[in-house]
Structure 1
Amino acid sequence: MELEMATKDLTTVEICAGAGGQSLGLHLAGFRHTLAVELDRDAAGTLERNLARLARTTGQTAPVVAVGDVADQSVWEPSDHTGIALLAGGVPCPPFSIAGKQLGSSDERDLFAWAVETAGVMQPKAVLLENVRGLSMPRFAGYRQAVLDRFAELGYSADWQLLEAKDFGVPQLRPRFVLVALQEEYAPFFRWPEPIGGVNTVGDALYELISANGWTGAAAWAERANRVAPTIVGGSKKHGGPDLGPTRAKREWRSMGVDGLGIADAAPGPETHHDALPRLTNEMVARLQGWTGAEYAWEFQYGKGHKTSTYRQIGNAFPPPVARAVGLAIAAALRQDAAATGRTGFKPEFHDEVYRALRSHGGFISVIRLHEILGGALSVDDIARRINFMTRDFEMEVRVRAGVDSYRLGEWRAFRGQDDHVRHEAFAAPQKRSKIS
Structure 2
Amino acid sequence: MAASSWHQGWDITDEEREVYRKRSQASSRAKAKAVRGEGRRPIHPINVPWLNPDDLMPQLASNGWRSLSLFSGGGGLDLGFDRAGFTHVASYDILPESGITLRNVRPEWTVFGGEQGDVTQVDWREYRGLVDIIHGGPPCQPFSVAGRQQGKEDSRDMFPEFIRAVLEIEPIAFVAENVTALVGKKFSSYLKEVVEHPLRQNYTLIQVILSAPSFGIPQMRKRVFFVGFRQEKMASNYQSPLPTHSWHHLPTDKVKPHVQLDLFSLLDPSETLQPCMGVREALGLPDIGFDTLSPTIRSSLTGPRHTTSVLSSVSAQKIWEKLQIWPNGVALNREQARLFVPDNGHFRLSVPDCAILQGFPESWSFDGAVYKALGQIGNAVPPPMAYRVAVSIAQALS
Q: By the TM > 0.5 criterion, same fold?
A: yes
> Match for 1:149: what amino acid?
H
Q: The residue matched to 2:280 in structure 1 has which SS?
A: helix
Q: The residue matched to 1:321 in structure 2 has which SS?
A: helix
Q: Is the 8 A contact 2:125 2:168 kept in 1?
A: yes
Question: Residue 85 of structure 1: which of 132, 139, 156 is its match?
Answer: 132
> Match for 2:372: what amino acid?
S
Name the residue aligned to 2:102.
Answer: 47
The 5 Å alignment of 1:212-251 reads: 218-220=286-288, 223-224=289-290, 226-236=291-301, 238-244=304-310, 245-251=312-318
The offset of 1:270, in angstroms, is 9.8
Name the residue aligned to 1:409.
Answer: none
Name the residue aligned to 2:280.
Answer: 203
Question: Residue 70 of structure 2: which of 12, 15, 37 is its match?
Answer: 15
Question: Residue 114 of structure 1: which of 161, 175, 178 is its match?
Answer: 161
Q: Deviations over 1:244-299 (max 9, x none)?
A: 22333222211211122221343665997998212211111000001136xxx312
TM-score normalised by structure 1 residue count = 0.65
Question: Residue 178 of structure 1: which of 214, 225, 228 is its match?
Answer: 225
Name the residue aligned to 1:281.
Answer: 350
The 5 Å alignment of 1:245-394 reads: 245-265=312-332, 266=334, 276-292=345-361, 297-302=363-368, 306-335=369-398
Q: Deviations over 1:399-434 (max 9, x none)?
A: xxxxxxxxxxxxxxxxxxxxxxxxxxxxxxxxxxxx
The offset of 1:106, in angstroms, is 0.4
Higher RCO (C-alpha under 8 Å, 6+ residues apart): 2
Question: Matches of 1:138 and 1:144 in 2, distance apart?
Answer: 10
Cα 1:272/1:16, change in 2 over 3 Å:
closer
Question: Matches of 1:92 and 1:312 in 2, distance apart?
Answer: 12
TM-score normalised by structure 2 residue count = 0.71
**Larger Rg over CA atoms:** 1
> Match for 1:112: what amino acid?
F
Question: Matches of 1:231 and 1:123 in 2, distance apart?
Answer: 34
Q: Is the 8 A contact 1:16 1:90 kept in 2?
A: yes
Question: Matches of 2:180 and 2:342 in 1, distance apart?
Answer: 38
Over aligned residue pairs, what C-alpha RMSD do you find? 2.4
Question: Matches of 1:106 and 1:274 in 2, distance apart?
Answer: 42
Cα 1:3/1:240, change in 2 over 3 Å:
closer
Question: Matches of 1:160 and 1:104 in 2, distance apart?
Answer: 19
The offset of 1:143, in angstroms, is 1.8
| Unmatched runs of 5 consecutive residues or more in structure 1 | 56-61, 211-217, 336-437
Q: Deviations over 1:366-422 (max 9, x none)?
A: xxxxxxxxxxxxxxxxxxxxxxxxxxxxxxxxxxxxxxxxxxxxxxxxxxxxxxxxx
Question: Matches of 2:104 and 2:147 in 1, distance apart?
Answer: 32
Cα 1:256/1:123, change in 2 over 3 Å:
same
The offset of 1:120, in angstroms, is 0.8
> Match for 2:279: what amino acid?
V
The offset of 1:88, in angstroms, is 0.7
Q: Is the 8 A contact 1:136 1:162 kept in 2?
A: no
Cα 1:256/1:13, change in 2 over 3 Å:
same
> Match for 2:223: what amino acid?
R
1:151 aligns with 2:216: no
Name the residue aligned to 1:28.
Answer: 83
Q: Is the 8 A contact 2:143 2:179 kept in 1?
A: yes
Q: Is the 8 A contact 2:70 2:119 kept in 1?
A: no
1:126 aligns with 2:191: no
The offset of 1:328, in angstroms, is 0.4
Q: Is the 8 A contact 2:97 2:113 kept in 1?
A: no
The offset of 1:234, in angstroms, is 0.8
> Match for 2:299: what amino acid?
G
Cα 1:269/1:16, change in 2 over 3 Å:
closer
Question: Matches of 2:317 and 2:94 in 1, distance apart?
Answer: 29
Name the residue aligned to 2:250.
Answer: none
Question: Matches of 1:31 and 1:231 in 2, distance apart?
Answer: 28
> Match for 1:277: what amino acid?
H
Question: Matches of 1:143 and 1:310 in 2, distance apart?
Answer: 31
Cα 1:276/1:187, change in 2 over 3 Å:
same
Name the residue aligned to 2:252.
Answer: none
Question: Equivalent pairs: percent with the same residue?
Answer: 28
Question: Matches of 1:107 and 1:311 in 2, distance apart?
Answer: 22
The offset of 1:127, in angstroms, is 0.7
Question: Residue 191 of structure 1: which of 239, 243, 261 is its match?
Answer: 239
Q: Deviations over 1:304-333 (max 9, x none)?
A: xx1122121112111000000000011111
The worse-fitting range, judged by mean Cα deviation, of 267-276 and 317-326 is: 267-276
Name the residue aligned to 1:417.
Answer: none
The offset of 1:77, in angstroms, is 2.2
Name the residue aligned to 1:164.
Answer: 211
